[in-house]
């Protein structure tokens, strides 16, 4: 019994302790001029899908879930977002050269086709981010057209 008590106490202390570690939040109040949605003519349905399924980790504005302030969740989210943005940041879209835009669009298509994105762990808590087969098809067609239109 005593051991259980000690373990619980240690866990409690660690849990309380890590709450004091702060993380950077990925939020901004406005959409920058360079944002994908401003630069491109994005149809309503595609717009909504990208926002819901991609923008949390691939833009400068994350819609945080309620549990985001509790460690170690906040850490995990912070790292995911940092990595996501370094691969593709929709907020910075217009800063990419056409060459890179085309690369990104190709990767978007391939990641969706192979069900690598949106990430499984993300969809557990964000059921609405999941793309149906129909959604995927529509997205891929639209993204391919955008890609072909770039020189």
Partner 1 sequence: MRKLRTITGVLAIVFAALTVMSCKDNKKEHSNEDGHHTEAGHDHSDGHHNNDKTSIDTSREIKENSQKNTTTSPIIDAYIQIKNGLVADSKEDAANGGTALLEAFAKYDMTTLSGETHKEYMEIYESTKENAEHIVKSPIDHQREHFEVLSTDIDDLITLLGTEKTLYKDFCPMANNNKGAYWLSEVKEIKNPYFGAKMMKCGSVKKQIN
Extract long-range pairs of 71-79: CB within 8 Å, 24+ residues apart. 71/15, 71/18, 71/19, 71/21, 72/18, 74/23, 75/21, 75/23, 77/23, 78/23, 78/24, 78/26
103 binds partner 1 (CB under 8 A): yes
Residue from 47, 51, 69, 130 in contact with partner 1 (CB under 8 A): 69
Tokens of 37: 């949605």
Among 110, 121, 137, 141, binds partner 1 (CB under 8 A): 110
User: Considering only residues 41-60, where is the footprint of partner 1 by CB under 8 A?
Assistant: 41, 60
Measure the CA–CA gap between 40 and 42, rounded to whole angstroms: 6
Least distance CB 150 / partner 1 (angstroms): 7
Residues of this chain that bind partner 1 (CB under 8 A):
1, 4-5, 8-9, 12, 15-16, 19, 25, 27-33, 38-41, 60, 66-67, 69-70, 94, 97-100, 103, 106-107, 110, 113, 149-151
């Amino acid at each position: 019994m005593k051991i259980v008590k000690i373990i619980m106490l240690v866990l409690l202390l660690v849990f309380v302790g890590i709450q004091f570690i702060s993380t950077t939040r990925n939020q901004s109040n406005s959409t920058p001029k360079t944002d994908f949605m401003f630069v491109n003519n994005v149809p309503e349905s595609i717009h909504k899908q990208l926002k819901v399924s991609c923008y949390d980790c691939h833009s400068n504005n994350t819609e945080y879930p309620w549990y985001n302030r509790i460690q170690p969740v906040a850490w995990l989210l912070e790292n995911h977002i940092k990595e996501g943005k370094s691969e593709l940041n929709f907020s910075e879209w217009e800063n990419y050269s056409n060459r890179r835009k085309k690369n990104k669009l190709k990767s978007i298509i391939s990641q969706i086709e192979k069900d690598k994105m949106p990430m499984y762990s993300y969809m557990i808590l964000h059921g609405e981010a999941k793309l149906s087969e129909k959604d995927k098809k529509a997205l891929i067609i639209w993204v391919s057209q955008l890609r072909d239109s770039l020189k």
